Amino acid sequence: MTNSTISQFKDELNSFFMLALLNMAFGALAMAFGIQYLTRAVLGLPLEQTAPVLRVLAGIIALIGFGLGLMWVISSAKVLKGITGIRREVRSRAGLVPDEMLTGWIVRMIAHYRENKKILPWMITTSRLGGCVFVALGVVTILQAIPAGQAGGPGIASVVPFIAAAINLAIGIATIAVSIGFHRYSAAWDRRLDESTQNEAILENILEQR
């Protein structure tokens, strides 16, 4: 195998790994927001001054968010576990990679991709939405920080919101980039999956004829 083939495989593997990792993070955030509201309600801590109906609705949303977040973390962890094993082997291999070894890695990745093919579009969508949320938070933080900084004058306190905004923007842009990158790679994995399915069908026909 050429170095470009190995490099492309590593890029695809890292993109798959980051997509699963980000989805675990977003699932954990959904759980955290749900736990935060439910804990305040159970302990009798003061909540926002809203109507009882809205509080009940918020509690239901928080409970649903926690449940969905937990399910998403479990699903993403399953996807991540399969990738981590292959990625560990690839990263531990130094020097020339034999064709047989790279082929084995690709076959394992195709099997893992096939097993999780239905959930991957949802993971891509989650990453894009999560990235957009972080970008929006960054923009809102900047818009709020500009008048506050002008009113408060120079100082560390006026710089902190801009740093927070930059972090949110960086996370959002990186997350969107990962989702776009994996979406591009997924087209290649779909072709490989179709080819492997066709080869399996051909082999099955040959065996049936004997």
Compute the distance between CA of residue 151 and CA of residue 158 in angstroms, rounded to an integer.
Answer: 9
Question: pTM here?
Answer: 0.72
Which pLDDT score, from 0 to 100, does residue 156 have? 66
The one-digit pLDDT tens for each residue of the chain (210 residues) are: 567 778 888 888 888 888 889 888 888 888 887 777 767 665 555 555 455 666 666 667 777 777 888 888 898 898 888 889 888 888 888 777 788 888 888 888 888 888 888 888 888 888 888 888 888 888 888 887 777 555 555 556 667 778 888 888 898 898 888 888 888 887 777 777 777 666 555 545 554 555
Q: How far is the CA of 100 from the CAs of 7, 81, 96, 97, 106, in angstroms? A: 16, 23, 12, 8, 10
Q: Residue 21 burial (CB < 10 Å; 0-12/13-18/19+)?
A: middle
